[in-house]
Structure 1
């Protein structure tokens, strides 16, 4: 029975679940880096507690303890038994010493521990038994004044791995046999949970049939996500007018948010993960392999490689969205060339405009350039019964490379004109300013005007030559 109970909740302790039986507390603290290192870790919410099994040996990797939230109390229980009357029940004195709110647990994997051991014979006989000796003093200097270390010859080498393990956490994923195999090769694949986002994803091939209707679960989500009939009808009309869409084009034409489209689109179309129409949404029941007009909707993957001349105008899509979320401005686009760069949410590529981002997934019909659309029109109609190519679709080989060259040439010419105009404007303004400052001091107005004309024409010709040479060098690296 308990006779005494005291409670002290104000005192807080730190719990370290040491993975071993502690016999000597001082040696235990030494394996944790000393009391100073323990105090630093306890005062930081991010640091991990390192445990070295051999504190004096630098050739091993420690195991780390992670900080986890764990509530507990520290109890002190004293048991008193009667020596004379052993039949009497013992008395228990319970004291609450304090509480703890977190714990350091060592549940990670432990790496290999390397010891600097050299094998030496027990006697001078070559056939004598070998013994291992701890040779740490011979592998590193004893202190900063141990200059004899560089004169000693090492009879043996200590071969250590270049890197220890990068991770020490246990992978909790499960594996399954790939159903596409026959089971003879033991191919393993990661078992991912079926989610709403990956439903309706189809791999393009020339054999299998494509989905003709939506999954019943996707139709139920329309009501759960509070999608109105008007919103559903709006997106359905877009798919009736055009069977294949990009996500950004659907969002632009419908005016709906991305969250609404993520719920509506799986009920009307499926998504190609590869092939000539990859990353596009295709209306249920439509087979682009059988329609020659689907060449207009094939995927055009356009990417820019450029130096600093173009990077000041075209940003990465992720960067722009982060700046917008933080309501942070990103000039120079805002104040210098707002009419030159397309908006990040604009789904088309207009002629005499810069692309919206460094990588654009477009349909060929989205590239609004007369020359490219004429190239699409001139592709000869295939014979009856012909099928498209699994890699290039209905387009001839090398068609995408030609389109990229045309787009890159258009971008290069656009930027050449922009930089030429900008530099010439700066040169003319500088010459005009000099003319106004020297006008009062000039003695001969006619001579001064002639000199001005010569200087201005020479400055403009020099500027054009300088700009042309500089721009030619600047756009050599613009490739797709």
Structure 2
């Protein structure tokens, strides 16, 4: 046993190990807490099995009680036995010297030295003095003021594991079986005389229909939810990064819009705002002709065509030119493909040939020799669409129309089965 001084204790660490249960409540007694955990047999069974889950039922007598589950976690703690002893002020110094003497002997010896005999002598010398002053009230109060309380601690065992209940137990379903049956009987006594003998409902009044509610929540552990922002807001933010001229600020959102939007972006008369004969006029004219040739473009295919025309744009510059005459969906079968403004592929059955298809490189082929990450994807886009080389990315989106394959082209040219795209 060691005395607590300045918030610290000293003693010998025991070899015994125990586990703790962080009980999520205030039980009426220890026996009730053990009962809600299934009793000693259930706890022993959990400890001997490989399962690290301890079940807790707040009402073990009710089979419909919603259980809580405690998971086993490693911890480093000690089980302490704390006791207190009273000493008078003049005897406190003697007790302190005895304890320090015992601790010094314990430090030099591997076997703990018992100090009970010496501490008992101090108690025997102290207690009679306290009892002798009981006759005089003033002296008794004065003596109590001089008394000091010392705390002693025994390290009983090590706490190496603990069960923690981190799940949600904020609800409990209580069946009507716990209600007062007598009150229901009194109600029926008042109602039955109005009917013929036997009553309208010939059932046992004590029989109750026990309907267990559906699961309240599919999750036991609370999780943080990250709500997806509105597609319109994200579209506006992306467009603000592209806009540079005042007239471009009036263009409606056309970048990463929702596929279920009612009206698509309208056509913009860019000819009224760009000086004719300027470089921007020539670039915009080339893009407009490409979208007249084909209403939907994959960005890599579009880059390839612009290179054939002798034009090379950076990513930001190309997006600025495109958002004046085109838009793209964030989701759907045409996601991330640039679509000519004023054209709605959802209402045109011919647009099915421009839909997207994803290709994922199998894991065994991801380190294949033909994959050269030093070359840009757009420089080899034709070879990739012709299945001559592997894509440099593990997942790539293609436009069905761009794939050079006889079977694919034959399939997309088959007769139309539905007139709209949903």
What interval of TM-score do these two structures reach, taking the shorter chain for normalisation? Answer: 0.3 to 0.5
Larger radius of gyration: 2
TM-score between the two structures when normalised by the length of structure 2: 0.43
TM-score between the two structures when normalised by the length of structure 1: 0.39
